[in-house]
Structure 1
Amino acid sequence: MSTTGAPDTAGLASGRAVAWERRKAALTRFWRDYRRQRVGVAGLTGMVLIVVLALAAPLLTDESGLDVTQVTGERLEAPSARFLLGTDESGRSVLLLILWGARISLLVGVTATLLAMGIGTLVGIAAGHFGGWFAGLLMRITDWFIVLPRLVLAIALAAVLGPSLTTIIVAIGVTSWAGTARLIRAQTLAVEARPYLERARALGAGHWHQMTRHVLPNVMPLVLASTTLEVASAVLAEATLAFLGLGDPSRISWGGMLSRANSSGAITYGAWWYLLTPGLAILVVVLCFTLCGRALEAVFNPRLRGR
């Protein structure tokens, strides 16, 4: 405070500058440690490439090629110079379907994961911070979701709500948060035992201030690593639900491609390219996110850095 009672703007500016420098130093250390994880760098490179191709699909291809009334290829045509990955049962380019399908598969995977991480983080922090009967109630609900098979519950929700993109996102997100809640609760309990939380309580900090200013920043590394790993599971879950016919039939996704390939008799016709290509796309995406998640775990957990 200045002598006139007004806030000391110079002090505030210097405090913000110090905080910004600390954040820059933390990011620099994080990137330095992450670069040492070679598999993590490989996964990040592949993930960025896939995301760029998915976002650039409208620039690289013509969306009209998805319309079955405007196709120029033959049914289940083998790969050639004209169609590098062959065609589907309607004569559409499989390469075109792969590029546009990546947008839906990644959108569902990321959105459903964010929903699951949001629920899991909220439940975990609340259970670890408040404790008592409230934490017991939250953990019993969490245990119920852990015991139930996620895929079966997601199939039931998707079947009840009807096939749509929103249904898939909600079904995956609502059934995938329990494991994260357990992890975040354990980390919250560890953070709550640290001295600076006791000082914050002694100075009169409320529950919201403690959870958002002290607990949440300390559990965010664990949330980030869990999010990266959960995206891979969400992409697989979306592919499974779409393969079972519970996805949006009006949108192209990799799981939907596998479902149509199976129902159109691609195996009988020997159209391996129609089955193999979306399967490999799912495999590559899951592998990239898994490698990034494992690398983040190694960076944030000092006991794993040497592995």
Structure 2
Amino acid sequence: MSAPQTARALAWARRREAAGRAWRQFRTDRGGLVGLAGLVLFALLAVAAPLFTDPADLDVTKTTGRPLQGPGGDYLLGTDETGRSVLLLVLGGARISLTVGLAAAVLTMLIGTVVGLLAGHFGGWVSAVLMRFTDFFLVLPSLVLAIALSSVLDRGLVTIVFAIGLTSWPSAARLVRAQTLAVEARPYIERARALGGGHTHLITKHVLPSTLPLVFADTTLQVASAIVAESTLSFLGLGDPTQVTWGSMLRNALNSGAVSAGAWWYVIPPGIGIVLVVLAFTLCGRALETVLNPRLRTSGGR
């Protein structure tokens, strides 16, 4: 085996060992395990929903149920104002809401990571310009800006993802910049520079791998915020009118008079779905922060 292959194998062995230690530490956090179990359950329901859901059952022209029919019989969670099964709507909404939340969180962390890495690594006028640009977006109300973008652009899931991602990245950028500055101060970075390592080598081989665990932990928290933002935009009527989400279900329940009619089965399931998914992502994010930040472990967590 050649030297590069040996070094690569050693690096992967160390990564597997570090991942094993992180998982053992994660298992000691009961809240994190509960959150992880909840996320796995929701993910399975979202992925398996198309397997036992006939698209015709969600077609308002082919429904056979009575409007706002209570739970029971063929409709375990009752029906909506058009006679569609609320259970099928909740399952379909879970898939869309999770997809939009994950995509928006990935876009948020992608923009924030790039801006934070460049600002922390290059410093000087590059950092000054990027941080002033970040501060500009940071002081703007993110929800108001997302509403404005969703109103101007064509309505759809891609627009929702773009609006949330473009308005939520500043906090991630500041977090990554702070971590980058901490990594840049370590001795092995100075040795890499002295050996002729360029900017690309330093960022991709040293700085980025050291910041990725923190980025991953923050992404789980960003997903929770993105799901709340998507539900809010859909509730305000700025989502995709052709897709069923938990936010659009709450909007339709309000507009159809389900609240005043006492049709609790139409309002409570999507609301509980939002709360449970956000709570699960938050518990996982907090547990990951404790695992990846030794100072939180020594201080007993948050």
Q: Shorter-chain TM-score category? A: over 0.9
- Name the structure 2 match of 1:254: 246
- Name the structure 2 match of 1:5: none
- Name the structure 2 match of 1:156: 148
- Name the structure 1 match of 2:277: 285
Alignment partners' CA distance in 2, 1:12 and 1:50: 42
- Name the structure 1 match of 2:128: 136
**8 Å CA contact retained: 1:162, 1:246:** no
Alignment partners' CA distance in 1, 2:146 and 2:183: 33
- 1:96-152 CA deviation, whole Å, 9 max, x = no partner? 001011111011100001001000000001000001111101001100111000000
- Name the structure 1 match of 2:291: 299
Where do 4+ consecutive residues of structure 1 move more than 6 Å? none
**8 Å CA contact retained: 1:109, 1:231:** yes
Sequence identity, in percent? 62
Normalization by structure 2: what TM-score?
Answer: 0.97
Q: Which amino acid aligns with 2:167?
A: T
Identify the match of residue 239 of structure 1 among 228, 231, 254.
Answer: 231
Alignment partners' CA distance in 2, 1:136 and 1:99: 46
- Name the structure 1 match of 2:117: 125
SS of the counterpart of 1:205?
coil
Alignment partners' CA distance in 1, 2:243 and 2:156: 9
Q: Which runs of 5+ in 2 are unaligned?
A: none
Q: Which runs of 5+ in 1 are unaligned?
A: 1-8
Q: Which amino acid aligns with 1:162?
A: D
The equivalences for 1:186-225 within 5 A come to 186-225=178-217
Alignment partners' CA distance in 1, 2:204 and 2:22: 22
Q: Which amino acid aligns with 1:96?
A: L
Alignment partners' CA distance in 2, 1:19 and 1:192: 21
Moved more, 81-90 or 11-20: 11-20
SS of the counterpart of 2:223?
helix
Normalization by structure 1: what TM-score?
Answer: 0.96
Q: Which amino acid aligns with 1:83?
A: Y
Identify the match of residue 6 of structure 2 among 2, 10, 14.
Answer: 14
How many corresponding residue pairs? 299
The structure having more radius of gyration, on CA atoms, is 1
Alignment partners' CA distance in 2, 1:250 and 1:206: 49
Identify the match of residue 108 of structure 1 among 93, 100, 107.
Answer: 100
